[in-house]
Amino acid sequence: MAKTDGRGGKAARRRSARERLAAERAAAERRRRRRRITRWAASGGIAAVLLAGGIWAATSDGKNSPDRTTAPVTAAGAEPDSKAGRPPWPRPDDTADRARKEGLAVAPMEGTAVHFHSHLDILVDGKAVPVPANLGIAASGDAMSELHTHDTSGVLHIEAPTTGKRYTLGQLFTEWNVPLSATTLGGLKADDTRTLTSYVDGSRQDGDPAAIRLTAHREIALVYGPANARAQVPSHYDFPAGE
């Protein structure tokens, strides 16, 4: 009669127990992430607007510091049915569907291959305009875009399932269904008396702001107001620890 290897049997049982524990932990993590998405989708009413300085001062030219994607850029996505006029601009119900049309991945859980944050300030006539919570997150709470917001702080979250993709401000405005171009911000138009100016980390940018690339800890500001004037715009944002 063959002898049973007691040590081998114990080792096999220990491996099996470790595998079961790992599977249980992975399942718990998936449940935790689904609960997080649901909570984020329910947090749209949280008011956490961080007001940026908006005191208009004397005329001064900024610096050109362009950093723009070479990929084709939409006119930031507001379709002909956009009702965008003057701010504030609400979050559209189809924000996740709009993300898909922009080529952004939409899935039940956030991606883990790429994870970083940018920040957006919008000043209109010296007053801060809130960026809605849950842009890019389905109203049902069961799916989210790789580019999204969780609250009204202006922090833009990029949590992607793959590497190598470039993200732009225009994609966010597509999810928002608010027009954005060199001369348009929602229903606001630049003309001889009013201007639309974009800034990155405090430096003035030329061209279409929809093309501004989102990168880690980048501070982006859009300023609309009287011509021949400027706003005091932030040059950085104090991201919470770990972001």
Query: Residue 177 falls within a domain, yes or no?
Result: yes
pLDDT of 210-232, one tens digit each?
Answer: 999 999 999 999 999 999 877 88
Containing structural domain, residue 157: 42-231
Exposure b/e, 54-68, CB count within 10 A at least 16 = b:
beeeeeeeeeeeeeb
Query: Is 178 a member of any domain?
Result: yes
How many domains, the chain?
1
Instruction: Tell me if 153 is assigned to some domain.
Output: yes
Q: Determine, yes or no, domain membership for 12.
A: no
18 is a domain residue: no
Residue 124 lies in a domain: yes
Distance CA 136, CA 143 (A): 9
pTM as predicted? 0.69
Question: Does a structural domain hold residue 120?
Answer: yes
Q: What is the pLDDT of residues 83-139, one digit of tens each?
A: 679 999 999 999 999 999 999 999 999 899 999 999 999 999 999 999 999 999 999
In a domain, 21, yes or no: no
Q: How far apart are CA 136 and CA 160, in angstroms?
A: 13
Location of structure tokens 């201007």: 195
The pLDDT tens digits of the residues spanning 60-89 come to 333 344 444 333 343 444 444 456 799 999
